[in-house]
Amino acid sequence: MARLRRFWARGGIGLALGILLAPSVSFAAPTGEERVVVVVAADRDDDDVNGVADGAETVVRGRAADDVVALVDGATRIEVDKGAECARPLVSGHPTAWPSARGAVKVQGVAPCDVEGTVVRGARRTPFTVHVRAYGFRGGAGEDVDPTKLHASMERTAPASAPADAAASYDDPDALRIHVSGDESAPPAVEVQSYGSAGNALDRLEHLPLAAVACRAGEGAHCWSSAPIRLVVDDTDRLQALVLGRSLRGEVGGGLAVRGGGRKLQAIRIEGPRSSAVGPIGRFRVQARPFVFRVAAGGAPAFGATEERAIGIVRSELALASSTWGQCGVTLGPPADIAVKVVDPPASSLLSFGDDAGLPASGGQLHLRADGKVVAVTWSAGLDVAAVAGKVAAALESQGLKVVVSPNARIGPGAGPSTDLLVHRRSGAPVVLEAANRDEPLSTDATLEVRLGIVDLSDGLQHFGDVDAVAGTLEERALVKSIDDGDPTTLDLVFVPFFGGGGRIGESFIGSDASSVENVVLLDRAGVRARRSSFTLAHEMGHVLLDIPGHPDDYGIDTPSSLMDSDAADASAFGPRRISVEECARMIRESGPEARTPLLKPWKLGPIRY
Ligand SMILES: [Zn+2]
């Protein structure tokens, strides 16, 4: 007996649904009466992504007609006895009143109930039933989430067990129950399928368990709900025991569909958090520019031994960071579309003034060799750093060279800000700068430091400390400015072999530093190796997107599951991978379309073929 019941609950009903879902003519045995039976979903999703529910379109065409089912051919009249409001007949895509539906009539579900009546074809009268079921998405407070107006979101909460009662409220702001309602008493067999932003099938929960729950006003006679379904980044989160069987991989820009009988019944798109201090957060794209530095010119890349391997490693880092930021609706786009460049460390083309203390000049002279040509510049005492840098820039330009002048943020102990000159030929090729005489200093000024930015990655990249964090070290600036495109709204990602001094695996330059180095993330090979235990790239991206130099645990609140925790390392589902809704809202304020530096570009959804 038990075996038989299990058979019906699993395979039996799925089979019955498969038959019923196709438009069918069934012959009821007792009376021999011919009856047309059709099952449709109340069409509340928006398959053509035009902001109008497919079931409310004035003309149902193209993708909006994806959930429409044929009812009858050659009708001369349709009489409805009950449930007329629960479905609408379509003739050539045009919604029609039931009595005037003629010819080839299709049917679109509107609300959950059974529609019953008679199809008249000349002298023939055939009774029909349209079972309209509603498949919906319900949030933690029991609220219905309209798939046309709102969206599903990636999981931001660490695993926790689901409430035993299928009608109980729950805390998780992202997970959604699948809710089904209709007039039939048997629970339907449904599965849940997720799709990527390219429309690719991503993950599936077969045989979604549904439990009977009380129906609300406007629902059918019978209602069922699932456990809260979570959309997650990876198998670590998907296979965790507390959430196993109700978690599936998702992707921002993709979708979550309820399916049955081989077709999609209802779908909702995946974007950012459904509610936040700045309202619902949609989908945003960040344009990343990744560079992998070679240890030395022409040498091996920072990691991966070959260029191809290095590019592959970077792409998988980008995929992980992108899916992690999916929690806030952010994506870097398909990793295969991101150009990853493997480049030599820059030649010494950067000249820095006042790099140390930013002190004004005591008067002096510069003797520089630029591409072999000697350039001499003299200045008097009292000039500030920017004025001296300006004089030297003019002298270099008069030699036919191209000079980019970039002031840095003033560091804590500095008297004033330092200024860098980046020197190129007219062709754009970097110019090699060196002291005119090897045995003499570059400049004779006793207070105003003039230094060459020399990058030597063989001893590690000299990284900033607390004192010079806002400007970065001279070596960091020489490195980063060599790949700068002058566009602060792109995110530059710099991969180096290792940081000097040990301990550090990643760092970032953020917009609020008011530095000329802005929105740059640096990562070394240890940061790349830490991958899923530390989420280093996603963490450093967080400093840039949130425009925040510190960490939540700097102030004593230890949050080891937070992506922005400074030192957590844990490869489990409780590791440092979660982003709070407050952080997502801050991200929109600091980097969204209205921000001073809009790193986030809104990215409209396109239709998915389910
Ligand atoms: Zn950090």
What is the pLDDT, as a whole number, of residue 136? Answer: 96
More confident residue, 533 or 436: 436
In this prediction, residues 383-387 reach a mean pLDDT of 94
Q: Is the pLDDT of residue 4 over 70?
A: no
Q: Is the pLDDT of residue 507 over 90?
A: no
Q: How confident is the model at residue 20 (pLDDT cuts 50, 70, 90)?
A: very low
Q: How confident is the model at residue 22 (pLDDT cuts 50, 70, 90)?
A: very low
Domain limits, the chain: 2-132, 136-271, 281-344+455-610, 347-454
CA of 463 to the centre of ligand 1 (A): 14
Q: Which residue has the tokens 């489990």?
A: 572
Q: How confident is the model at residue 5 (pLDDT cuts 50, 70, 90)?
A: very low
What is the pLDDT, as a whole number, of residue 546? Answer: 95
pLDDT, tens digit (0-9, with 9 covering 90-100), for 186-215: 888 999 999 999 999 999 999 999 999 999
Q: Is the pLDDT of residue 415 over 90?
A: no
In this prediction, residues 263-290 reach a mean pLDDT of 97
Tell me the C-alpha distance between 60 and 336, whole Å.
36
> Within 13 Å of residue 20, how many CA atoms lie on the same side as its CB?
21
pLDDT, tens digit (0-9, with 9 covering 90-100), for 136-174: 999 999 999 999 999 999 999 999 999 999 999 999 999
What is the pLDDT, as a whole number, of residue 52? Answer: 96
CA of 305 to the centre of ligand 1 (A): 28
CA of 564 to the centre of ligand 1 (A): 6
What is the pLDDT, as a whole number, of residue 131? Answer: 95
CA of 311 to the centre of ligand 1 (A): 24
CA of 551 to the centre of ligand 1 (A): 6
- For 8, the 3-state DSSP assignment is helix
What is the pLDDT, as a whole number, of residue 513? Answer: 58
Q: Cα dist. 578→269, 457, 539, 574 in Å?
A: 21, 33, 10, 9
CA of 304 to the centre of ligand 1 (A): 25
Q: Is the pLDDT of residue 342 over 70?
A: yes
Q: Residue 307 has which token pair? A: 């260029």
What is the pLDDT, as a whole number, of residue 468? Answer: 77
In this prediction, residues 325-337 reach a mean pLDDT of 96
Strands (E), 460-535: 491-496, 506-509, 520-524
CA of 505 to the centre of ligand 1 (A): 10
Nearest to 282 by CA among 271, 298, 274, 270: 271
CA of 470 to the centre of ligand 1 (A): 14
State the pairing for strand pair 211-213/491-496: unpaired
Report domain 281-344+455-610's class: alpha beta
CA of 54 to the centre of ligand 1 (A): 45
Average pLDDT over the chain, rounded to whole? 89
CA of 99 to the centre of ligand 1 (A): 67
CA of 540 to the centre of ligand 1 (A): 6
CA of 322 to the centre of ligand 1 (A): 17
CA of 590 to the centre of ligand 1 (A): 17
CA of 510 to the centre of ligand 1 (A): 11
Of 126-140, 255-269, 494-508, the one with minimum mean pLDDT is 494-508
Tell me the C-alpha distance between 582 and 566, whole Å.
18
Tell me the C-alpha distance between 239 and 229, whole Å.
13
In this prediction, residues 284-298 reach a mean pLDDT of 96
**Count of H-run helices and E-run strands, the chain:** 9, 34
Q: How confident is the model at residue 33 (pLDDT cuts 50, 70, 90)?
A: low
Q: How confident is the model at residue 510 (pLDDT cuts 50, 70, 90)?
A: confident
CA of 490 to the centre of ligand 1 (A): 20
| Share above pLDDT 70 across residues of the chain, in percent, rounded to a whole number | 94
Please enumerate, as own/partner, the contacts of 161-169 that have beta carbons within 8 Å and a separation of 24 or more. 161/242, 162/227, 162/228, 162/243, 162/246, 166/210, 166/211, 166/212, 166/213, 166/224, 166/225, 166/226, 166/227, 167/142, 167/213, 167/214, 167/225, 169/140, 169/141, 169/142
Helix (H) or strand (E) holding 320: helix 307-325
Give the chain's end-to-end CA distance (angstroms, integer).
38
In this prediction, residues 98-119 reach a mean pLDDT of 95
Nearest to 499 by CA among 460, 446, 529, 553: 460
Give this prediction's pTM: 0.88
Tell me the C-alpha distance between 423 and 546, whole Å.
33
Tell me the C-alpha distance between 485 and 517, whole Å.
11
Tell me the C-alpha distance between 542 and 540, whole Å.
5
Strands (E), 400-519: 402-407, 419-424, 433-435, 450-453, 491-496, 506-509
Q: How confident is the model at residue 8 (pLDDT cuts 50, 70, 90)?
A: very low
- Eight-class DSSP state of 541: H
Of 15-24, 455-464, 502-511, the one with minimum mean pLDDT is 15-24
In this prediction, residues 326-341 reach a mean pLDDT of 96
Nearest to 268 by CA among 138, 163, 180: 138
Q: Cα dist. 186→76, 86, 133, 182 in Å?
A: 33, 19, 12, 9
CA of 278 to the centre of ligand 1 (A): 24
Tell me the C-alpha distance between 190 and 259, whole Å.
6
In this prediction, residues 414-424 reach a mean pLDDT of 90
Q: Tell me the β-bridge partners of 168.
A: none
Q: How many CB atoms lie within 10 A of CB 65?
A: 18
Of 177-181, 529-533, 541-545, 579-583, the one with minimum mean pLDDT is 529-533
Q: Is the pLDDT of residue 7 over 90?
A: no
CA of 499 to the centre of ligand 1 (A): 15
Q: Are 329 and 271 in contact (CB under 8 A)?
A: yes
> Within 13 Å of residue 346, how many CA atoms lie on the same side as its CB?
30
Q: Which residue has the tokens 């969204």?
A: 592
In this prediction, residues 582-586 reach a mean pLDDT of 97
CA of 409 to the centre of ligand 1 (A): 20
Q: How confident is the model at residue 512 (pLDDT cuts 50, 70, 90)?
A: low
CA of 507 to the centre of ligand 1 (A): 7
